[in-house]
């Protein structure tokens, strides 16, 4: 089996799907890796590092697509809808593509790939079950984003983070409020604590309290009328506007007393809940900073503009996009481990094998044998529930 790793083409993308360290793991299973020349350079992995670990360096992108049985990417298809279009003519029927594909936001791109006979696995759809944890790219990338969000806030804030007692007087620690204590939020809490900030956090999921407290942060009490805020998959439920109105009201006091607010609240498949209004921003001290990690899903703050910095009443609101690409070395290291684990899970006796009883394969498979096969992607395209392709093996 030949696996191809093209250079990423999404604007500003600096990650790479495989790093040299994972090449031997794949070689052990008889997998040959061909990497497009320069694919890892922006992440700090030169061609020579891949060669040393036994990968081949491909001369052209067209040749790579022509020889690879499986293409591994970070952002592909729907997750790179414009620049990625140039690759569409390079796909071959029967070829498999694995990566972040954003199939629910751009289902028509998946339909085009299906028409070309490409088998597509979308890593965003990986079930969050214990067995799939080593393949969980969303958790890995949220870890990177959570870390970087605090550094962005610290660099923007006109104050320092730690408590300092100096001959020039006492510097009080920064007060950081993290909204949403999932993977990104918990990493943000840990990072802010390491920088010496006093941290408070809130999440609608009751299970988050213990995790927040174990990181040395205070869980903000907010009695809200929810029986259970958690789905069976461990995610937050969506609530009605009345719930969010009450939440905003209760959060308002904490927001106004904070120097930094980092928002990470998301509900899978839905627009991010609006938790911070312009009025709440205006209530913060001038110089305060908001970093909205939900900016690509519509934002948790009313003033957020994805990819932009907005200043309102002296408060800076950052809406960073594709944050993991700004820490490309470690983001690629984690991504590569995850995608290699996913690939090895699918490869049996040197072939990509789709076991109908395997949730990991079935829930990530979006296009196969000429059809869009994932029910949610079919629904997004207005197609009937079942694809005609019943046989799922290759």
Comparing CB distances to ligand NAD, the nearer of 113 and 293 is 293
Q: Is 236 in the site for ligand NAD (CB under 6 A)?
A: yes
- 272-311 residues in contact with ligand NAD (CB under 6 A) are 273, 275
Which segment (125-133, 328-336, 358-366, 378-386) binds ligand NAD by CB under 6 A?
125-133
**Of 85, 128, 131, 359, which one is the catalytic site residue?**
128
- 185-204 residues in contact with ligand NAD (CB under 6 A) are 185, 202-204
Active-site residue flag, 136: yes
Q: Is 205 in the site for ligand NAD (CB under 6 A)?
A: yes
Instruction: List, in sequence order, every residue forming a beta bridge with 96; answer none if it has no partner.
Output: 70, 119
Active-site residue flag, 139: yes
User: Could you identify the residue written with the tokens 């690759």?
Assistant: 87
Do 366 and 373 meet the contact criterion of CB atoms below 8 Å apart? yes
User: Could you identify the residue written with the tokens 């081949």?
Assistant: 56
- Among positions 181, 336, 373, 380, the unique one binding ligand NAD when judged by CB under 6 A: 181
Comparing CB distances to ligand NAD, the nearer of 115 and 244 is 244
Q: Is 328 in the site for ligand NAD (CB under 6 A)?
A: no
Q: Is 268 in the site for ligand NAD (CB under 6 A)?
A: yes
Question: In the structure encoding, which two tokens stand for residue 307, read together?
Answer: 């990819």
Distance set, CA 195 to CA 112, 186, 219, 316 (Å): 47, 14, 19, 20
- 135-154 residues in contact with ligand NAD (CB under 6 A) are 136, 138-139, 142
351-352 and 347-348 as β-strands: parallel, antiparallel, unpaired?
antiparallel
Minimum distance, C-beta of residue 179 to ligand NAD, in the bound complex (Å): 5
Minimum distance, C-beta of residue 108 to ligand NAD, in the bound complex (Å): 25
Which segment (48-56, 67-75, 213-221, 260-268) binds ligand NAD by CB under 6 A?
260-268
**Of 60, 85, 133, 359, which one is the catalytic site residue?**
133
Comparing CB distances to ligand NAD, the nearer of 264 and 295 is 264
Do 265 and 183 meet the contact criterion of CB atoms below 8 Å apart? no
DSSP string, 108-147: HHHHHHHHTT-EEEEGGG----GGGGGG-HHHHHHHHHHH
3 state DSSP class of 4: strand
Q: Which residues contact 3 (CB under 8 A, 6 or more apart)?
A: 18, 26, 31, 32, 33, 34, 68, 69, 70, 71, 72, 343
Comparing CB distances to ligand NAD, the nearer of 188 and 197 is 188
User: Residue ranges of the alpha helices (H) in the chain?
Assistant: 23-27, 47-52, 61-67, 107-115, 137-156, 183-194, 208-214, 241-256, 278-282, 328-346, 359-364, 375-380
Question: In the structure encoding, which two tokens stand for residue 7, read together?
Answer: 């250079």
Cα gap 183→203, rounded to integer Å? 12
Could you tell me how far CA 168 lies from the centroid of its own chain?
43
Minimum distance, C-beta of residue 56 to ligand NAD, in the bound complex (Å): 34
Minimum distance, C-beta of residue 205 to ligand NAD, in the bound complex (Å): 4
Q: Is 341 in the site for ligand NAD (CB under 6 A)?
A: no
Active-site residue flag, 235: yes
**Of 87, 102, 112, 136, which one is the catalytic site residue?**
136
* Residues found near ligand NAD in the complex (CB under 6 A): 128, 130, 133, 136, 138-139, 142, 179-185, 202-205, 208, 234-236, 247, 264-268, 273, 275
């Amino acid at each position: 089996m030949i696996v191809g790793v093209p250079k990423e083409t999404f604007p500003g993308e600096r990650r790479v799907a495989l790093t040299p360290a994972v090449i031997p793991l794949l070689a052990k299973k008889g997998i040959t890796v061909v990497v497009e020349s320069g694919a890892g350079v922006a992440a700090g992995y030169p061609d020579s590092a891949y060669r040393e670990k036994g990968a081949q360096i491909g001369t052209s992108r067209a040749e790579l697509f022509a020889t690879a049985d499986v293409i591994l990417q970070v952002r592909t298809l729907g997750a790179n809808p414009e620049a990625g279009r140039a690759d569409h003519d390079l796909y071959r029927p029967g070829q498999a593509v694995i990566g972040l594909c954003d199939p629910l936001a751009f289902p028509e791109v998946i339909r085009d790939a299906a028409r070309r006979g490409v088998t597509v696995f979308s890593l965003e759809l990986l079930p969050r079950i214990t067995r799939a944890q080593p393949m969980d790219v969303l958790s890995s990338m949220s870890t990177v984003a959570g870390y970087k969000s605090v550094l962005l806030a610290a660099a923007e804030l006109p104050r320092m983070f730690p408590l300092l007692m100096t001959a020039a007087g006492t510097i009080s620690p920064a007060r950081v409020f993290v909204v949403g204590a999932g993977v990104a939020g918990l990493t943000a809490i840990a990072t802010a604590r390491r920088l010496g900030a006093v941290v408070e956090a809130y999440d609608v999921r009751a299970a988050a309290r213990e995790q927040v407290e174990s990181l040395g942060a205070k869980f903000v009490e907010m009695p809200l009328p929810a029986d259970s805020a958690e789905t069976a998959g461990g995610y937050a439920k969506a609530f009605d506007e009345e719930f969010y109105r009450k939440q905003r009201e209760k959060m308002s006091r904490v927001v106004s007393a904070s120097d930094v607010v980092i928002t990470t609240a998301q509900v899978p498949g839905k627009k991010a809940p609006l938790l911070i209004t312009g009025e709440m921003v205006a209530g913060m001290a001038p110089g305060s900073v908001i970093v909205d990690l939900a900016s690509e899903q519509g934002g948790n703050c009313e003033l957020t503009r994805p990819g932009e910095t907005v200043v309102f009443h002296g408060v800076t609101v950052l809406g960073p996009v594709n944050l993991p690409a700004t820490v490309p070395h470690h983001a690629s290291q984690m991504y590569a481990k995850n995608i290699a684990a996913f690939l090895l899970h699918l490869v049996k006796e040197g072939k990509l094998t789709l076991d109908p009883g395997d949730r990991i394969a079935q829930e990530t498979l979006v296009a196969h044998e000429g059809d869009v096969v994932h029910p949610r992607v079919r629904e997004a395209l207005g197609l009937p529930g079942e694809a005609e392709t019943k046989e799922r093996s290759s």
